[in-house]
Amino acid sequence: MNMGRLNGKVAIITGAANGMGAAEARLFAQEGGKVVGTDLNMDKLNELVNEITSNGGEAIAIQHNVASEDDWKRVIEETLKRFGKVDVLVNNAGISSTMTIANLEMEQWNKVMDINLNGCMLGMKYAIPEMQKVGAGSVINISSIGGLVGMAGSSAYTAAKGALRSISKAAAVEFAKQQIRVNSVHPGIIETPMTAESFKESTPYYKTFTQLPYFGKPEDVAYGVLFLASDESRFMTGSELVIDGGWTAL
């Protein structure tokens, strides 16, 4: 049912083929948004876009390596060609890393930084000028609880997500006068393809990922992202939305 919370808004969502990105794309379309879903996995992304359009929504799929500046230029160009503007950017694409600092290889460090941090910076670099033309906009950077607290064995991931939290605040201050809002979202461990290993019954520590008696689903994050994309959050910028089942409340 379309409640119209994003009627007329054009939203770019990276990493939209699976998990939280796919949930965000579905929800945005249900709420009247025009969705530009990007990912490297075109099979899954095309499936998602076909699902959205068959349900009466508007969406397009664009193959996209978020670490590539040229790809970002092309994504913005194709978005403008199809929808004419950019209102919302959700920097959702990311990868995990489980190496400790002592064992971290520079190749892995650079890959995590390229996708989890540089990709988000490039998205803002190219989407925000289009929001300036509109006269307003909302950027939602998907960070992590790892951007707020230390997570052993995830040094590169934690560093990138912490930096994403900080650059979100810097951008929020830079563009506030132009009514372009920038907020970060900090999910806990959510049941997605990326975290599937953590939820196997053979991994007992998965039970520590929430204080609530149930686990987080992609939709739980998507509703928070929807709020930040909509005008309901018009007085929020530079904020951190934590969606972690109370994990960081301990």
Q: At 116, which CATH number?
A: 3.40.50.720
Query: Would residue 88 count as lying in a domain?
Result: yes
Q: Determine the structural domain holding residue 133 and report its residue range.
A: 10-249
The whole-number average pLDDT for the span 228-242 is 98
pLDDT of 151: 84
At 250, is the pLDDT very low, low, confident or very high (cuts 50, 70, 90)? Answer: confident
Contact present, 5 and 230 (Cβ < 8 Å): yes
Q: Is residue 47, in this structure, part of any structural domain at all?
A: yes
> Is 157 one of the annotated active-site residues of the chain?
yes
Q: Using CA atoms, how far apart are residues 29 and 247, in angstroms rounded to an integer? A: 30
Question: Out of 126, 157, 206, 223, which one is annotated catalytic?
Answer: 157
Mean pLDDT of 197-219: 72
Q: Which two tokens stand for residue 241?
A: 């939305």
Contacts of 247 (CB under 8 A, 6+ apart): 145, 188, 189, 208, 209, 210, 211
- Assigned domain for 4 exists: no
Residue 50 has what pLDDT?
Answer: 98
CB 225 within 8 A of CB 232: no
Which residue has 């808004």 as its token pair?
Answer: 9
Give tens-digit pLDDT for 50-69: 999 999 999 999 999 999 99
DSSP 231: G
Residue 31 included in any domain: yes
Over range 224-243, report the average pLDDT. Answer: 98
Confidence category of residue 204, pLDDT binned at 50, 70, 90: low
Q: How much is the pTM?
A: 0.94
Tell whether 215 is covered by a domain: yes
Total of domains in the chain: 1
pLDDT at 188 over 60: yes
Is the predicted pLDDT of residue 136 greater than 80, yes or no?
yes
> CB within 8 A of 118, min separation 6: which ones?
67
Q: Tell me phi and psi for residue 119, to 5 degrees.
A: -60, -40
Residue-level pLDDT at 1: 47
Assigned domain for 5 exists? no
C-alpha distances (whole Å) from 55 to each of 23, 32, 226 are 14, 12, 19
pLDDT at 201 over 80: no
Q: Can you give the pLDDT at residue 199?
A: 58
d(CA 107, CA 58): 38
**At CA 37, angle to CA 40 and CA 83, rounded to 5?**
135
